[in-house]
Chains A and B, each alone.
Chain A
Amino acid sequence: MSISTELEFDAHLAEEGQSSGGPVQGRTQWQLTWRRLRSDRVSMIALAVIVIMVLLAIFAPAIAALTHHPVNMAYPVNGENEDGNPVPPGTNGFLLGTDSTGRDLLVRVLYGARISLFVGIVTTLIATVLGVAVGLMAGYFGGIIDTVLARFTDAVLAFPYIVLALALAAVFGPSLTIIVVMITFFSWAGIARIVRGQTLSIKEKEYIEAARSLGAGPFRIMFFDILPNLLAPVLVIGTLYIPNAVVFEATLSYLGLGVQAPTPSWGNMLSDAQNFYQVAWWYLVIPAVALLITTLAFNLLGDGIRDAMDPRTERLIAARRMRRRLTRRNARQGNKEALSGLTAGGAAAAETRKKG
């Protein structure tokens, strides 16, 4: 029932557009995706969390100025108690307490967010460009190029990254550049593999043959005909790779191979805090929660985008809207019976989605 309603609604819109006669802007895949995404509450909350995180990271210096606590400034008097341990949240103007040397934990977590988000987004961007390029070439050209590129990709995926990270850090000394290079190196291969698979299926489509019959060269076909069809899966996988990179950076910093003190990073804060968790729980919990929220938000948003890209979820969203509409109506009419029936139907639909 809900399905037909949605379709009729869309058909009606299309008719309207046709009859008006003026230049008609097609409703793009992105508009449809955004429409579906907007009706997904979890994704929108995740998006809001990410936006807030990014804003907090960008304006970290301004917030530090507001607290009058520079990021690397230690406050041995106000920031530590008699035993020399961190003070709890809300003490002496330290909103989230202090760390082992009496520095403002709030400011340090926000500066840590700068590192984490920078590493997460930059490495994912570079890895995506690399992965798309390699995957496109391997998938489109095939043959020996494919064999070489695909086997190299597999080799990268099979590599024990912690071991390489240890080795690189030992040779070059830990630095942000090394982190970015290392995370990028271990991220592009997964993207390349997915892009290659997609390219293999897209290049058999008739419109690729049509382009070839028009005389288009391989690079024109790759960029104008195949790439637009890859953007959707690449966007999804990119969103899902950001939290991976964030966690990877935290891992490296935790192991002491990443960002070095006194520069704050969630990873090295966690590493420092583990000696104090008995006397200062906030020291451990706050960076951990920041890490958790960020990765969770990116993961949920990635899942949401993936569902929103999938036209099959249209009916689920339609059902969700219908349910809300009915809930409102039932609230007025006091008819609880119909609601429970529909909710059960929605649950069944969600179940099938999980299976599918």
Chain B
Amino acid sequence: MATANDADDNVLVRVENVVKYFPVKAGGFIKHTVGQVHAVDDVSLVIERGKTLGLVGETGSGKSTLARCVAGLIPVTSGKVYLNGTEITKLSRSAMRPLRREVQMIFQDPYSSLNPRRRVGAIIGDPFAIHKTATGAERKRMVQELMERVGLNPEHFNRFPAEFSGGQRQRIGVARALALRPKLIICDEPVSALDVSIQAQVLNLLSDLQTEYGLSYLFIAHDLEVVRHVSDKVAVMYLGRIGEAAPADSLYSQPRHPYTVALLSAAPAADPDAAAARQRIILTGDVPSPIDPPAGCRFHPRCPKAQEICGQVEPPLVTHDDLEISKAGPPAGWQSADTVRPGEPGIAGGETHVTACHFPVVPGETLASARTAAIAAEREPA
């Protein structure tokens, strides 16, 4: 894959086959590994310059782990992360230091992401202190500029985080992330701890800053409407893998992965008539344990469209331009990965709509009926 010329084209971050397993240890005196949590399993994606890639998924789907791998906060088990064409996964801490300026994070919890014992001026000034870019009066001036830019009263630099509201604290987090003028800001559920009205303010601030500084965002959330509002591209994660990725409009108007369809059907609708009219797909069972993820498609134990092959062959992330065949069901003699209806292999975060599913949902298909049919088929032999 082309990587060296990333610096020239419009790709800022390229994630290639990143895997992150966390060992599960047991034993009192002598610890030994009894299993691996498959937090992120073979994920590839790109983040384009000046664009926002939304990452959605349930709790435990590996969104935050992936974000931390991209930020270089935790080492990857395997795979590569390129920033501006430079591989950052193998860099030492000192070599990583200058690159830290390029990638910053905004955290979910505005209460625990700010040190309660330090004044706001010190917190926002930290990036300058760590990278020795400004000291004394200059640092204070820059901190106050940042505070003003994110909509805080610059006179409040002497206060403690506890004296601010949740929205104001999140603005402090934004100011801190912005201090070093990064190229990429990873927003790890930046608004999920805030009131809806405050959410809108913070999202608008992020959007303004993107226009002003040409920032790229990796925006993680579990609120689909928030992601739709801010994202250019959206990727859906389930159990450590990307199930579907597409430009936001395409994903929301034509979801192809059954999981995406179910996820979208679960989003609350503001209009009561629309809420009553839509078909809610209720998935059965729980998310399987990431320590022992299911074989084949990760979603198949809960998928209303699951067939035999789904539990055997892992579907690759491909484009599906013509969905007629899958609508008709698997062709006769469907046995192996070779006969999976091929699409062009695609990468998440690009312009194409890619789906990792053997039987993508086609426009007009209703999954609720597919589920009913599946249940009926199950009962029939008995």
The answer on A and B forming one complex is yes
Report A's interface with B, CB cutoff 8 A.
14, 21-29, 205-207, 209-217, 220, 224-225, 228-229, 231
Q: Smallest distance from the beta carbon of A146 to chain B beta carbons, Å?
A: 13
Contact A22 B126 (CB under 8 A): no
A214 in contact with B163 given A29-B117, A206-B108, A229-B117 (CB within 8 Å): no
Residues of B within 8 A of A22 (CB): 155
Residue from A23, A205, A214, A229 in contact with B176 in the complex, judged by beta carbons closer than 8 Å: A214
Q: In the bound complex, do residue B130 and residue A206 qualify as a contact, i.e. CB atoms below 8 Å apart?
A: no
In the complex, chain A residues whose CB is within 8 Å of the CB of B33: none
Q: A29-B117, A225-B115 are in contact. Are A215 and B101 (CB under 8 A)?
A: yes
Q: Which of A21, A24, A220 contacts B130 (CB 8 A)?
A: A220
User: What's the Cα separation between A229 and B180 when bound, in Å?
Assistant: 26
> Complex Cα distance A27/B93, Å?
37
Provide the bound-state CA to CA distance between A220 and B97, in Å.
Answer: 14
Question: With A213-B71, A214-B100 given, is the CB distance from A23 to B115 under 8 Å?
Answer: no
Task: Decide: A207 and B115 in contact? CB cutoff 8 A.
Answer: yes
List, in ascending order, chain A residues with CB within 8 A of B173's CB. Answer: 210
Contact B155 A210 (CB under 8 A): no
In the complex, how many angstroms separate the beta carbon of B160 from the nearest chain A beta carbon?
A: 4
When C-beta atoms are compared, the residue in chain A nearest to B164 turns out to be A26
Measured CB to CB, the nearest residue on chain A to B163 is A26
Q: A209 to B109: give the CA distance in the assembly, Å.
A: 12
Max chain A C-beta neighbours (<10 A), residue from B100, B105, B126: B126
- Contact yes or no, A213 B117, CB < 8 A: no
CB contacts (< 8 Å) of B157 on chain A: these are: 23
Given known pairs A22-B155, A24-B155, A207-B115, the reply for A213 and B104 (CB within 8 Å) is yes
For the complex, what is the distance from the CA of A231 to the CA of B115, rounded to whole Å?
Answer: 14
* Chain B neighbourhood of A216, CB < 8 A: 126, 130
Contact B109 A206 (CB under 8 A): yes
What would be 24 A-B contacts, judged by CB atoms less than 8 Å apart? A22-B155, A23-B155, A23-B158, A26-B119, A26-B158, A27-B163, A205-B112, A209-B73, A209-B105, A209-B113, A210-B113, A213-B71, A213-B104, A214-B104, A215-B96, A215-B130, A215-B131, A216-B130, A224-B118, A224-B126, A225-B115, A225-B118, A228-B118, A231-B117
Give the docked Cα–Cα distance between A24 and B71 (Å).
35
Which residues of the other chain, B, contact A211 by a CB distance below 8 angstroms?
126
Q: Report B79-130 residues with CB < 8 Å from chain A CB.
A: 93, 96-97, 100-101, 103-105, 107-109, 112-119, 126-127, 130
> Which residues of chain A have C-beta atoms less than 8 A from B117's C-beta?
29, 228-229, 231
Of all chain B residues, the one with the shortest Cβ separation from A228 is B117
CB of B229 closer than 8 Å to a CB of A: no
Task: List chain A residues, Cβ under 8 A from B25.
Answer: none
Additional 14 contacts, C-beta under 8 A, given A213-B103, A214-B100: A22-B155, A24-B155, A27-B163, A206-B112, A209-B107, A213-B71, A214-B126, A214-B127, A214-B130, A215-B97, A215-B131, A220-B130, A229-B117, A231-B117
Q: Which residues does chain B contribute within 8 Å of A206, judged by CB atoms?
A: 107-109, 112-113
Q: Are A14 and B163 in contact (CB under 8 A)?
A: yes
Q: Which A residues are in CB contact (< 8 Å) with B113?
A: 206-207, 209-210
Which residues on B sit within 8 Å (CB–CB) of A229? 115-117
Closest beta carbon of chain B to A141's beta carbon, Å: 14
B141 in contact (CB, < 8 A): no
CB-CB nearest in chain A for B99: A215
B32 at the interface (CB under 8 A from A): no
> Any chain A CB within 8 A of the CB of B159?
yes
Task: Name B residues whose Cβ lies closer than 8 Å to a Cβ of A.
Answer: 68, 71, 73, 93, 96-97, 100-101, 103-105, 107-109, 112-119, 126-127, 130-131, 153, 155-160, 162-163, 173, 176, 180
Give the complex CA separation of A212 and B73 in angstroms: 7
By beta carbon, the residue of chain A nearest B101 is: A215
Q: Are A210 and B176 in contact (CB under 8 A)?
A: yes
Cα A28 to Cα B180 with chains together (Å): 28
> Chain A nearest CB: distance from B229 CB in Å?
24
Contact of A25 among B104, B105, B158, B162 (CB under 8 A): B158
Which chain B positions have C-beta within 8 A of A14? 163
CA–CA, A119 to B96, complex, Å?
A: 48
Give chain B residues whose Cβ lies under 8 Å from the Cβ of A214.
100, 104, 126-127, 130-131, 176, 180
**Residue of A with least CB distance to B71:** A213
> Cβ of A24 and Cβ of B107 under 8 Å apart?
no
Smallest Cβ distance from B32 to chain A, in angstroms? 16
Find chain B residues with CB under 8 A from A213 CB. 71, 73, 100, 103-105
Contact of B115 among A25, A26, A27, A228 (CB under 8 A): A228
CA of A103 to CA of B159 in the docked complex: distance in angstroms? 58
Q: Output the least CB separation between B205 and chain A (Å).
A: 18
Task: Indicate whether A210 sits within 8 Å of B107 (C-beta atoms), given known contacts A29-B117, A215-B100.
Answer: yes
Cβ–Cβ < 8 Å partners of B100 in chain A:
213-215
How far in angstroms is the closest Cβ of chain B from A45? Answer: 30
Q: Please measure, in the bound complex, the distance between the C-alpha atom of A211 and the C-alpha atom of B93, giving whole angstroms.
A: 14
Whole-angstrom distance between the alpha carbons of A337 and B115 in the complex?
A: 47
A213 to B180, CA, bound (A): 12
- Bound together, the chains give a CA A181 to CA B194 distance in angstroms of 53
- Cα of A21 to Cα of B131 in the assembled complex, Å: 31
Chain B residues with CB below 8 A from A210, complex form: 105, 107, 113-114, 173, 176
Chain B nearest CB, measured from A189 CB (Å): 22
Q: Which residues of the other chain, A, contact B96 by a CB distance below 8 angstroms?
A: 215
In angstroms, Cα B153 to Cα A37, docked, is 32
A25 to B160, CA, bound (A): 9
Write out the residue numbers on chain A whose beta carbons fall within 8 Å of the beta carbon of B114: 207, 210
Minimum Cβ distance to chain A for residue B142 (Å): 15
Which chain B positions have C-beta within 8 A of A21? Answer: 153, 155
